[in-house]
């Protein structure tokens, strides 16, 4: 008999079906034994026949089983149906007790214990739902950009030079030569503007930062975009807002059950305010009484305040901060011709936390040489990158979205490790 998925049972009332999945729970109500079976589509309630009853005593949760029975209406069950007179066949037995229960409404263990046992813990339905939403976000990212003529690229993660500056790179030995894990696809995505004008990449980024915060990982999945023939960085920011809006709304439509399970709500985009770093700092001084006007960047508290301001005054969960000091921004950011001390760069803050960094880039070869000299960088280390600019590059810009942070904010998680399948941090390299 062909396999039926739990979610398809309502369309099969009166028919005999075969389900295959995991034993999510065995529950006894009075004389009746229910086996709750879980598959990729959800859970199904089954009532075992007397012969099968013997088999379930001693059956551990997560055993892989096949159940055959008849679909009958039952309004107290999920989806309003259950499978009755079911026979049971064990496909893959489980002999050990689970490290913690994954069939309860809430997951009990601490984050650390959960992460230590992630291979089985991730089967907890709300956890699985979180990462299905992640897949939806990536799907939406690809869909929107492909639909707007962007080309997907995949660039090397083994690098001979550091794209974002040398401070926080994982160094390694590459057949006797020094090499680094890519901190971002920055240099390659800019090169590829010369080929396709519009490109994007979904890939890992490695940062050797000794952080112990709730929003930093040492390996994260970066969603990178780069586009040419822009008339200014506002074009890039407009694209970013439309892109995130599509990612989130299409995910909520594709996975309504998962969105409800984890309480994901579609954020408010009405109009995303844009203010310069200096204006943002003056606003913080006026509204919250803290003088950070001499700082080159926002602190996490500043980001929270700006998030609150955008929410209260602009009905937006997002706010752009632009024009960071050129000296403090990545070397490839374009200084503002009207005031070169500040760069044509931006961050997007989502619910009080930095989610995206982006900029218009320098697109002239000679200007790169000047910048590299001023920053004590060796052009020879970047000859491949510079070649693209030597031979004609249009005005261009782009950004990178931190995917785990996006999911973290969308589902209201307190720690980025909750929205990363197998997080890598200073203390964690396993599982």
Q: Which of residues 388-407 bind ligand AMO (CB under 6 A)?
A: 398-400, 402, 404-405
Q: According to the binding rule CB under 6 A, does residue 184 interact with ligand AMO?
A: yes
- Cβ distance to ligand AMO smaller for residue 274 or 405: 405
Coil, strand or helix at 313: helix
Residue from 72, 354, 377, 428 binding ligand AMO (CB under 6 A): 354
Cα(208)–Cα(168) distance, integer angstroms: 5
Burial class (CB in 10 A: 0-12, 13-18, 19+), 54: exposed
Catalytic site includes residue 219: no
Is residue 147 classed as helix, strand or coil in its secondary structure?
helix
User: Judged by CB under 6 A, how many residues of this single chain contact ligand AMO?
Assistant: 21
Q: Are 46 and 35 spatial neighbours (Cβ–Cβ below 8 Å)?
A: yes
| 52, 240, 355, 410: which one binds ligand AMO (CB under 6 A) | 355
Q: Taking the complex as a whole, how short is the minimal distance between the CB of residue 252 and ligand AMO, in angstroms? A: 21
Binding mask 188-207 for ligand AMO (x = CB under 6 A): -------------------x
Q: Of these residues, 405, 409, 417, 418, which one is catalytic?
A: 405
Q: What character string, x for contact with ligand AMO (CB under 6 A) and - otherwise, covers 150-179?
A: --------------x---------------
Q: How far is the CB of 265 from ligand AMO (least distance, A)?
A: 20
β-sheet bridge partners, residue 205 = 220
DSSP for 13-81 reads TTSEEEEEEEEEEEEEETTEEEEEEEETTEEEEEEE-HHHHHHHTTPPTT-EEEEEEEEEE-TTSGGGE
Least separation in angstroms between residue 304's CB and ligand AMO is 15
- Residue 271 has a CB neighbour count (10 Å cut-off) of 12
* Inter-CA distances, 317 with 211, 267, 412, Å: 26, 6, 13
Q: Write the DSSP string, 104-127.
A: SSS--S-HHHHHHTHHHHTTSHHH
CB of residue 406 to ligand AMO, shortest distance in Å = 8
> Considering the complex, what minimum distance in angstroms separates the CB of residue 313 from ligand AMO?
23
Residue placing its CB nearer to ligand AMO in the complex, 24 or 215: 215
Is 215 an active-site residue? Answer: yes
Buried b (16+ CB within 10 A) or exposed e, 404-413: bbbbbbbbeb
CB closer to ligand AMO out of 34 and 385: 385
For residue 40, indicate whether it is catalytic: no
Whether 209 sits among the annotated catalytic residues: the reply is: yes
CA distances from 102 to 61, 112, 120, 125 (A): 9, 16, 8, 8
- Mask for 205-224, x = binds ligand AMO (CB under 6 A): --x-x------xx--x-x--
What residue is closest to ligand AMO based on CB?
A: 402
* 304 forms part of the interface with ligand AMO (CB under 6 A): no
* 132 given a catalytic annotation: no
Task: Return the number of the residue (56 or 356) whose C-beta is nearest ligand AMO.
Answer: 356
Rounded to the nearest 5 degrees, what angle is found at the Cα of 361, between the Cα atoms of 356 and 365?
155
Binding mask 218-257 for ligand AMO (x = CB under 6 A): --x-x-----------------------------------
What size, in residues, is the chain? 431
Burial 72-101, CB ≥16 within 10 A → b, else e: eeeeebbbebbbebbebeeeeebeeeeebe
Q: Smallest distance, Å, CB 172 to ligand AMO?
A: 18
Contact between 359 and ligand AMO per CB under 6 A: yes
- Residue written as tokens 């080309």? 151
Among 281, 357, 360, 363, binds ligand AMO (CB under 6 A): 357
Positions annotated as catalytic residues are: 207, 209, 215-216, 354, 357, 405
Q: Which residues are at the interface with ligand AMO (CB under 6 A)?
A: 164, 184, 186, 207, 209, 216-217, 220, 222, 354-359, 398-400, 402, 404-405
């Amino acid at each position: 008999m062909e396999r039926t998925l739990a979610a398809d049972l309502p369309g099969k009332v009166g028919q005999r079906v075969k389900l295959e999945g995991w034993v999510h729970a065995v529950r006894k109500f009075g004389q009746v034994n229910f086996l709750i079976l879980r598959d990729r589509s959800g859970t199904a309630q089954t009532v075992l026949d007397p012969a099968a009853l013997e088999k379930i005593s001693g059956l551990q949760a997560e055993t892989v089983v096949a159940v055959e029975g008849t679909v009958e209406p039952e309004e107290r069950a999920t989806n309003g149906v259950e499978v009755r007179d079911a026979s049971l066949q064990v496909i893959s037995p489980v002999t050990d007790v689970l490290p913690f229960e994954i069939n309860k409404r809430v997951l009990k263990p601490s984050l650390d214990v959960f992460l230590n046992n992630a291979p089985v813990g991730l089967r907890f339905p709300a956890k699985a739902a979180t990462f299905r939403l992640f897949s939806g976000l990536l799907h939406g990212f690809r869909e929107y950009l492909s639909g707007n003529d962007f080309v997907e690229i995949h660039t090397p993660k083994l690098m001979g030079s550091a794209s974002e500056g040398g401070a926080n790179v994982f160094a390694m030995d590459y057949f006797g030569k020094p090499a680094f894990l890519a901190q971002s696809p920055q240099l390659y995505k800019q090169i590829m503007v010369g080929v396709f004008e519009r490109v994007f990449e979904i890939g890992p980024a490695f940062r050797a930062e000794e952080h112990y915060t709730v929003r930093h990982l040492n390996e994260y999945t970066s969603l990178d975009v780069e586009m040419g023939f822009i008339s200014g960085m506002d074009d890039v920011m407009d694209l970013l807002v439309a892109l995130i809006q599509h990612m989130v709304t299409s995910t909520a439509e594709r996975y309504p059950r998962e969105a409800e399970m984890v309480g994901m709500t579609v954020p408010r985009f009405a109009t995303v305010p844009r203010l310069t770093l200096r204006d943002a700092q003056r606003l913080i001084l006026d509204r919250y009484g803290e003088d950070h006007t001499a700082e080159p960047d926002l602190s996490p508290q500043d980001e929270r305040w700006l998030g609150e301001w955008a929410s209260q005054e602009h009905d937006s969960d997002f706010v752009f901060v632009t024009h960071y000091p050129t000296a403090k921004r990545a070397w490839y950011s374009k200084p503002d011709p009207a005031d070169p001390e500040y760069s044509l760069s931006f961050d997007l803050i989502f619910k009080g936390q930095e989610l995206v960094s982006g900029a218009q880039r320098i697109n002239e070869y000679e200007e790169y040489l000047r910048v590299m000299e001023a920053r004590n960088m060796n052009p020879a280390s970047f000859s491949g990158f510079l070649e693209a600019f030597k031979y004609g590059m249009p005005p261009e810009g782009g950004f990178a979205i931190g995917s785990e942070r996006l999911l973290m904010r969308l589902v209201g998680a307190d720690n980025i490790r909750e929205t990363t399948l197998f997080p890598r941090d200073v203390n964690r390299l396993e599982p």
